[in-house]
Amino acid sequence: MKEEEERLNCDAIDEKPRNYDFSQGYAEKWECYEAATCEKCNKPVMVSGEQRHNEVEDTECDGYIVGEGPMMNYYYPLPDFKMDVTEAAKKIVHLPLCIVQFTDTEEYALALTGGGMDLSWEICAAYMELGYWPPTHFRLPGFIPGMGPKGAMRVIKGMRESIKIRRNWLDSDDANLDTAEKRVIEVVKDRKKREKAKGKTA
């Protein structure tokens, strides 16, 4: 866990899914970066739709690669995203997600390339692969995901760290409220003392 504490950041801990209609605006409003595994040589390859390996890379392999693109109409923000987007897409090739970039803001996000079940495990795993502690918004369902027990335990540890960090933030916010409350009480007491003093001299 220590190694991940050194390399993962807190930027996405408070993030939540956002609605977006991916059925329109491709290329004009958003771009998709997706990697898929070649069915013949098992190499991760950047893809758009269904293609043969030798159509997108200089190789003799003619295996099929299939990209789905965003399948659901919401996305998961990647704040202050700094990774090479091609490298990032290949890091999550084993997960049902791709990376999208919005052309107006140049911001990046994760988007699901599949659906039909709760994919919270996979979304949290993708955040961790890309260098973020996972958002505390997600509630992990009570089944072992396709990533297996080892991958699941990594996500659980990541979620615990996110909750710990968020709890520290909330404790700090609560302490600030205590300070503000004490100051307000002091001001009120001071005003009452001055009003009382004025009454005696009147």
Question: pLDDT tens per residue, the chain (202 residues)?
Answer: 455 555 799 999 999 999 999 999 998 999 999 999 999 999 999 888 888 999 888 999 999 998 889 999 999 999 999 999 999 999 999 999 999 999 999 999 999 998 878 999 999 999 999 999 999 999 999 887 788 999 999 999 999 999 999 999 999 988 989 899 999 999 998 888 887 777 766 5
- Among 138, 102, 108, 141, which Cα is nearest to 123's? 138
Q: Determine the pLDDT at residue 6.
A: 55
pLDDT at 53: 93
pLDDT of residue 202: 57
Q: Which pair of tokens denotes residue 155?
A: 């996500």
Q: What is the pLDDT of residue 165?
A: 95
* Whole-number pLDDT of residue 116: 76
Cα–Cα dist 18/23, whole Å: 15
Do 115 and 72 meet the contact criterion of CB atoms below 8 Å apart?
A: yes
- Say how far apart CA 76 and CA 159 lie, in whole Å: 16
Model pLDDT, residue 144: 78
pTM, two decimals, is 0.86
10: nearest Cα among 111, 136, 104: 136
| Residue count of the chain | 202
**Exposed e or buried b per residue across 11-23, where buried means at least 16 C-beta atoms within 10 angstroms of its C-beta:** bbbebebeebebe
Closest CA to 47 of 60, 63, 64, 65: 65
Q: How far apart are CA 8 and CA 2, in angstroms?
A: 10
